[in-house]
Amino acid sequence: MKKRSLFIQFLLYVLLVIVMLFFIGPIVWFFMLSIRPALTNRTIPPTVIFKPTFEYFYYCFINPGVSLKYLISSLIVSFGSSLLSLPFSILSSYAISRFEFKGKNFITLFYLSLFFGPPVAYLIPYFLIVSRIGLAGTYLSMILIYQTFTIPFSILIMKGFFDEVPVEIEEAAMIDGTDRLGALIRVVIPISLPGIIVSSLFAFVFSWNNAVFPLVLSGYTTKPLPIGTFNFFATTGVAWNNIAVTSVITMLPPMIIFMVLGKYIVRGLTFGAIK
């Protein structure tokens, strides 16, 4: 019986390794493609041992730095949309969590319904709106449009965290002399900080990885990194090494942020799990 359980456990570990390789394999291959010489890209059998080179990183982000402006655009749009959504998300989710008013359930379902439709269906209306108000091709147009998704998503997440904060704590703060807004800032937000960080991270990742809206809304000088990568697809050929470099750089900021703030993510995702 013990041998059978060990054999089953061994099979589970093998299955986990296969699944891990299935997800990590493309990432490792792209990283190898970003540092391998171009002559070894299509060799059969594939060249595994080669002398690494960082000339493609140098070309894309240092000199002449053809992708550097796209990286800066991605940072501006992602951080801008995340920071702009915070005050609206916090106040809205707090109001839905603490107050009873007519249409509360409808508003919550409306926020949820925004994710039902495919993003492509919103492209033409959004493009017409930003064109009419003179914001087509600007950073502000993408930051504002992203709010239609980052704010509802953040509200749905933060509401659950605010629900877990006992009302008695706020009442005690208001008895001591503070008002409702002061209780929110001094009591509720510090307690719910893991949830706020988690929602902000997801808003950042959504804005960073989005390639549908910038395809129509961005201009020549405001293209984010995922859209700027398309420039390496040319009639003369495809610069696979440069595409791999931009793909690796695109993956780095979300990975670094999640690694640095990992403890907040764990606390945020498990907040309220144990009463």
The answer as to whether 60 is a domain residue is no
Upstream peptide bond of 26 is cis (omega within 30 degrees of 0): no
pLDDT at residue 128, rounded to an integer: 92
pLDDT at residue 2, rounded to an integer: 65
pLDDT lower than 70: segments of the chain: 1-3, 235-236, 264-275
pLDDT at residue 40, rounded to an integer: 83
The answer as to whether 152 is a domain residue is yes
Q: Are residues 75 and 29 in the same domain?
A: no
The answer as to whether 191 is a domain residue is yes
Rounded to a whole number, what is the distance in angstroms from the first to the last CA of the chain?
A: 38
CATH classification at residue 263: 1.10.3720.10
pLDDT at residue 68, rounded to an integer: 92
Q: Are residues 117 and 152 in the same domain?
A: yes
Determine the structural domain holding residue 202 and report its residue range.
68-231+244-270
The answer as to whether 236 is a domain residue is no
Provide the number of structural domains found in the chain: 2
Q: Are residues 202 and 114 in the same domain?
A: yes
Q: Are residues 95 and 175 in the same domain?
A: yes
Q: Is there a contact between 151 and 92 (Cβ–Cβ < 8 Å)? A: yes
Q: Are residues 123 and 258 in the same domain?
A: yes
Q: Are residues 11 and 99 in the same domain?
A: no
Q: Are residues 138 and 170 in the same domain?
A: yes
Q: Is 22 exposed, middle or buried (0-12, 13-18, 19+ CB in 10 A)?
A: exposed
pLDDT at residue 268, rounded to an integer: 59
Q: Are residues 21 and 148 in the same domain?
A: no
